[in-house]
Amino acid sequence: MAQQLVTIFGGAGFVGTTLVEHLARTGVRIRVAVRKPNSSMHVKPLGDVGQIQVVQANLRDETSVRSAIRGSDAVINLVGILYETGAQKFKAVHEMGAETIARISQEFGVKSLVHMSAIGADESSPALYGKSKAAGEAAVKKAFTKATIIRPSVIFGNHDQLFNRFAQAASSLSVMPVFSGDTKFQPVYVGDVADAIIKILSDTTLQDKTYELGGAEIYSLREMMQLAAKEAMRKVCFVDVPKSIAPYFVFFLGLLPNPPITLDQLKMLATDNVVGKKALDLSKLSVSPTSLRAILPLYMHHYRPKGQFAEEITN
């Protein structure tokens, strides 16, 4: 893959930063396309001098997208939002933005396109998030017929937006509400997601397919919250919120500037978020899933009362 140019939209985020680091080791040139380049310079030292370039691109501005894609051998779209705010709407980002990247990639003769969607993408989903992800997949495949779709379950790793939130809440609350606590998830390690994408880029026989990426174990939402609290060494009482009143509770939480949960996310929790029995998974990409329990202690110690010097946890 040496000398190739790979453009990554959303390449300075949680998944993108890890992907850039892993991809840089293969020797390719990397162009990181982001809305705010000045706050994304942390990716440049992840490669050799001059190997990683950060450029400005906004999916709602086709000119900037064209500039970012021009000359690329491969394009990866990692852009996604968990809730709507301002001009960042599900349709604009997940569907229209994804279509713009795919269409321009096809026009410029890009050889490989990888689009990150999510398990739960379904045109009949009760949630706008799930519907928009499904619409985005359809738009991408229509514009770039040989695009590869990856659908991860929730992704964990340092700086994730899931277990860090659970641990942070456990550090300040003695009682935590649990919504749809029995819903199942298959947390996948961010490093495994990055390696899966690299495998796809390096082997054309793996492309033009849809993969569902899940980790080594399946956990309920309640179990994930409890595990985060345990690793943070915090004693918390978890209280299940009845489904009859959950929407009212979540409505007010959704009004916060950075809501812990929204009504749309509550709708997504009605369905398990695990790899389908017939789906192509990490094993088809020769990637062995990393255990959540092996990684979680490496970044949960930040929330412990005595930090990394706290005593080891025994099972």
83-139, pLDDT tens digit by residue?
888 888 999 999 999 999 999 999 999 999 999 999 999 999 999 999 999 999 999
pLDDT value of residue 10: 95
Distance in angstroms (rounded) separating the CA atoms of residues 226 and 249: 21
28-38, pLDDT tens digit by residue?
999 999 999 99
Distance in angstroms (rounded) separating the CA atoms of residues 240 and 222: 9
pLDDT value of residue 93: 94
pLDDT value of residue 313: 53
Residues whose CB falls within 8 Å of the CB of residue 96, separated by 6 or more in sequence, listed in order: 59, 60, 139
Give the mean model confidence (pLDDT) for residues 257-261: 85
The token pair that represents 161 in the structure block: 């937006």
Confidence band, pLDDT 50/70/90 cuts, at residue 310: low
Q: What percent of the chain shows pLDDT beyond 70?
A: 96
pLDDT value of residue 193: 98
pTM comes to: 0.93
Q: Which of 291, 304, 309, 179 is nearest to 229 (CA)?
A: 304
pLDDT at 268 over 70: yes
pLDDT value of residue 253: 83
Lowest mean pLDDT across 6-20, 60-74, 164-178, 191-205 = 164-178
Confidence band, pLDDT 50/70/90 cuts, at residue 249: confident
Give the mean model confidence (pLDDT) for residues 44-48: 93
Confidence band, pLDDT 50/70/90 cuts, at residue 308: low
The token pair that represents 34 in the structure block: 């982001």
Q: Which of 26, 144, 14 is nearest to 6 (CA)?
A: 26
- In this structure, are residues 184 and 260 in contact, taking their beta carbons and an 8 Å threshold? no
How big is the CA angle at 53 (ends 49 and 54), to the nearest 5 degrees? 135
Distance in angstroms (rounded) separating the CA atoms of residues 296 and 162: 11
The mean pLDDT of the chain is 93
pLDDT at 1 over 80: no
Full DSSP string of the chain: -TT-EEEEETTTSHHHHHHHHHHHTTT-EEEEEES-GGG-GGGGGGSSTTTEEEEE--TT-HHHHHHHHTT-SEEEE----SS-BTTB-HIIIIIIIHHHHHHHHHHTT-SEEEEE--TT--TT-SSHHHHHHHHHHHHHHHHSTT-EEEEE-SEESTT-SSHHHHHHHHHH-SEEEESSTT-EE--EEHHHHHHHHHHHHH-GGG-SSEEEE--S--EEHHHHHHHHHHHTT---EEEEPPTTTHHHHHHHHTTSSS-S--HHHHHHTTS-B---TTSB-GGGGT-PPPPHHHHTHHHHGGGSTTGGGSPPP--
pLDDT value of residue 315: 47
Residues whose CB falls within 8 Å of the CB of residue 37, separated by 6 or more in sequence, listed in order: 54, 55, 56
Q: What's phi and psi for 300, nearest 5 deg?
A: -80, -15
Give the mean model confidence (pLDDT) for residues 39-47: 93
Confidence band, pLDDT 50/70/90 cuts, at residue 314: very low
pLDDT value of residue 77: 98
pLDDT value of residue 309: 64
CA 3 to chain centre: 27
Range 184-218 burial, b when 16+ CB lie within 10 A, else e: ebbbbbbbbbbbbbbbbbeeeebbbebbbbbbbeb
What's the start-to-end Cα distance of the chain, in Å? 44
CA 86 to chain centre: 21
138-159, pLDDT tens digit by residue?
999 999 999 999 999 999 999 9
Confidence band, pLDDT 50/70/90 cuts, at residue 255: confident
User: What domains, with CATH codes, occur in the chain?
Assistant: 5-157+186-213 (3.40.50.720)
